[in-house]
């Protein structure tokens, strides 16, 4: 698994597509509003969550937000499905460096995204940060 | 001082540099040092002031920044819009602080309308300035890692600024991220900093 992170609009998906030659058809975008994390279901696929048949999973932070709203821990759900993404490219926006949000849900989102990135960073064979369109190899 | 000045004269740079990072972390000060270094051989040294003051708070900020630049030898060019029409001696060294202010001046017009193409125009104009002078230092702000749902207009602004940032990062020879005073070269020769003794330059101008 290749983890790509960085701030919003920095060119993370562009980098992934250029690097691997993927088209939009091979990208699943969690921001499209189709990710539904159920409070009780055990795995993401069964919960009509992320489509792991795609090679690239973009906007993973939106999946994390769905987890926050359902009272689930994103990294635990991901760990259960690890077989499904072990060869994927996972892209997540780094939302860790701004002002601490006033809203409790946004604060929980920020923290859970941090925990998720730490977990995925450990699991990844490659970690890349994209800064103003420029990739930096972290791992 | 004499010894150091000799170093500037022999090794003053000729590169376009893009600097970004969080707010109030030493970016501007580092950028000033870089522009100063590029003004070796008695080249003109310009500070392109982009802020359009709207209230007393802005006036005070501008005054504080001016005081901080005292003694560095900058000539100030006030240009808060239409940056492409800037007039100067292009053999000089330039510091533009900041891209962020430039975009808000051009995008959110004074008559209350929004210019949706401002980011593209500014990116082109700044690219031209870089090609003209080869000694430009651009300062921007890294505003992309908030955990917040912004309104549509704010998102448009962030997206527009990212467009300019990415353009400049592509055009410039050197890209630097300043994070809490730590200076990281994202693009450019790893030994870029070795040819200039930034700490010595900075120690000469206070701090």
> Mind listing the pLDDT tens digit for each residue in B134-146?
999 999 999 999 9
* pLDDT value, residue A130: 97
List the domain range (segments joined by +) for residue B187: 2-204
Domain total of chain B = 1
Dig out the tokens for A49 from the structure.
Answer: 């969550």
Report domain extents, chain A.
Answer: 2-137
CA dist., res. B30 & res. B183, Å (int): 9
Report ipTM for this prediction: 0.86
Say whether domain A2-137 belongs to CATH 3.30.420.40.
Answer: no
Q: With an 8 Å Cβ cutoff, is A138 touching chain B?
A: no
Chain B neighbors of A93, CB-CB under 8 A: 145
The residue among B19, B20, B99, B147 with the most chain A CBs within 10 A of its CB, best to mutate, is B147
pLDDT tens, residue by residue, A34-47? 777 777 666 666 55
**Quick check: A134 pLDDT over 80?**
yes
Q: Characterize B15-49 residue by residue with b for buried, 16 or more Cβ atoms within 10 angstroms of its Cβ, and e for exposed.
A: bbbbbbbbeeebbbbbbbbbbbbbbbeebbbbbbb
Spatial separation of the C-alpha atoms in residues A117 and A112, rounded to whole Å: 9
Q: Do B186 and A101 touch (CB under 8 A)?
A: no
Å between B133 CA and nearest CA of chain A: 22
User: Rounded distance, CA B88 to CA B125, Å?
Assistant: 15
Q: What is the mean pLDDT of residues B28-35?
A: 89
Distance CA(B74)–CA(B137), nearest Å, equals 13
Task: Pick the residue of A9, A10, A99 with the most B CBs within 10 A to test the interface with B by mutation.
Answer: A9
Q: Which of A95, A107, A136 sits opposite B145 (nearest CB)?
A: A95
CATH number of the domain bearing residue B111: 3.40.50.300
Strand order through the sheet with B182-187: B75-78, B45-49, B93-97, B136-139, B17-21, B174-179, B182-187
How close A43 gets to chain B, by Cα (Å)?
Answer: 26
Confidence of residue B1 (pLDDT cuts 50, 70, 90): very low
Max Cα distance, chain A (Å): 41
């Amino acid at each position: 698994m290749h983890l790509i992170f960085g701030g919003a609009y920095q060119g993370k998906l562009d980098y992934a597509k250029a690097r691997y030659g993927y088209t939009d058809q091979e990208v699943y975008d969690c921001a499209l509003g189709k990710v539904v994390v159920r409070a009780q279901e055990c795995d993401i696929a069964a919960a009509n969550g992320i489509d792991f048949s795609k090679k690239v999973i973009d906007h993973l932070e939106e999946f994390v937000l769905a987890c926050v709203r359902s009272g689930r821990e994103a990294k635990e759900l991901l760990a259960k499905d690890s077989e499904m993404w072990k060869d994927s490219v996972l892209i997540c926006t780094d939302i860790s460096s701004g002002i601490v949000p006033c809203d409790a849900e946004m604060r929980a989102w920020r923290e859970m995204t941090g925990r998720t990135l730490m977990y995925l960073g450990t699991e990844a064979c490659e970690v890349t940060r994209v800064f103003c369109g420029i990739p930096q190899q972290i791992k | 001082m004499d010894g150091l000045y000799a170093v500037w004269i022999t090794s003053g740079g000729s590169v376009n540099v893009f600097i970004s990072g969080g707010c109030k972390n030493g970016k501007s000060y580092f950028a000033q040092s870089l522009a100063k270094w590029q003004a070796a051989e008695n080249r003109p040294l310009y500070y392109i002031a982009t802020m359009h003051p709207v209230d007393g708070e802005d006036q005070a900020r501008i005054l504080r920044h001016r005081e901080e630049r005292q003694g560095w030898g900058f000539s100030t060019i006030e240009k808060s819009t239409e940056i492409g029409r800037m007039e100067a001696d292009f053999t000089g060294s330039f510091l533009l602080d900041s891209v962020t202010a430039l975009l808000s001046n051009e995008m959110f017009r004074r008559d209350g309308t929004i210019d949706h193409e401002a980011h593209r125009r500014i990116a082109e104009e700044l690219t031209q300035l870089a090609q003209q002078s080869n000694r430009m230092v651009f300062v921007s702000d890294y505003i992309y890692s908030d955990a917040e749902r912004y309104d549509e207009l704010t998102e448009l602004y962030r997206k527009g600024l990212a467009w300019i940032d990415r353009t400049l990062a592509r055009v410039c020879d050197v890209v630097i991220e300043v994070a809490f005073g730590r200076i990281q070269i994202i693009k450019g020769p790893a030994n870029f900093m070795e040819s200039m003794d930034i700490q010595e330059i900075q120690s000469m101008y206070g701090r």
